[in-house]
Amino acid sequence: MRKVVSVVGARPQFIKLSAVSPELRKEYDEVIVHTGQHFDYNMSEQFFEELEIPHPDYNLGISGGSHAVMTGTIMMDIEKVLIQEKPDWLMIYGDTNSTLAAAIAGAKLHIPICHVEAGTRTHSMTNPEEINRVCADHVSTLLLAVTEEDYANLELENLGDRAVIVGNTMYDAFVKNSMKRQPSDFTLTRLDGSGEVSVPEEYYYMTCHREENTNDDESLNGILRAMNSLDAPTIYPVHPRNKQRALRLNEQYGYENVILCEPVGYLESACLVRNAKKIVTDSGGLQTEAFFAEKKCVTVLDFVVWPATMVSNRNELARPNEKDILEKLSHRQIIDPEYKPFGDGHAAKRIVEALLKYDQNR
């Protein structure tokens, strides 16, 4: 069998891998490399366990440092793996530093690269992920786009002849896993260590981890003030690097209507999305999951990640301040049941079909 090295390092990539790996292994010998970019147990190993992803063949254990330090270190270590494994394909996912590092290392070694979730663009080069995804696309051999918009972006960059629309692997995973947990099946661990709390009957669900929203008190406080003023509690699993600021602000301002808790696993998160009243996030992945679950979403960013979700008030951008977030949350979404831009839940099969077709023609 031909060999594929699959490189992952962050939560959304684990979810995508969980959908693709079972299909890939029907036709290819797969070697999984976990860079270690998400090192916390709930951000990493728990995902492999509950999504039944094969244990990584390599765990590089690389996390922290500047973008350049992390990318450079991952690139050096992945090069060693690729030289040893000599794969027929290198498969990369999304737009993290792990994605960029693997792409550069693979391209320098003349290994064909398959980029899952190619063509996504914010058209903002101030966004670190934009640099990663643009560079990865331009050195990749096979570009697997999620939506027609993504494919059009690749055509504009003269990459259309390498591209195939396959749908969204996150949707594959959500369809498969979102019903595996119910709110009564688990509890939330309070961030301050004061114990467990049950999932409320009604709640809002929020994730917030990007630097622009969490690196200063004003932005994060504005977001939390908005959530604190809603008509039901907000569940906020806090990213490890943001823990101390969140705890300090909570002690200072007392967000009594916000449940600050430790990170949750993917199955718990998917359950929380499916049962929430509405979603507030700065995560590209959670935006799509809210869309899959037909939940109103407000995205606290100044750029669009998934244009296909920005229809009929289903997903709206907001600034990190109380007034703007609350205004956008108040807008009523309209759902068109015929509008399905992310495919039919079989993206993983189409990915493997695209690989096989390329191999047959070369």
Strand ranges for the chain from DSSP E: 3-8, 29-34, 58-59, 89-93, 113-118, 142-145, 163-165, 187-189, 196-198, 204-206, 234-237, 258-261, 279-281, 297-299, 315-317
Distance CA 220, CA 272 (A): 21
The residues pairing with 299 across neighbouring beta strands, listed in sequence order, are 281, 317
User: DSSP string covering 22-89, please?
Assistant: HHHTTTSEEEEEE--SS-SGGGTHHHHHHTTPPPPSEE-----S-HHHHHHHHHHHHHHHHHHH--SE
Half-sphere exposure in the Cβ direction for 34 (13 Å, CA)? 23
**CA-derived radius of gyration, the chain:** 20
CA dihedral 232, 286, 12, 267 (to 10 degrees): 40
Which of 123, 209, 239, 331 is the catalytic position? 209
- Residue 200 has φ and ψ, to the nearest 5°, of -65, 160
- 202: which 2 tokens? 């009604």
Residues 6+ apart with CB under 8 A from 148: 165, 341
* Strand 3-8 to 89-93 pairing: parallel
115 is catalytic: no
| Residues 111 and 25: beta-carbon distance below 8 Å | no
- 205: which 2 tokens? 């669900």
- Which residues have a catalytic role annotated? 209
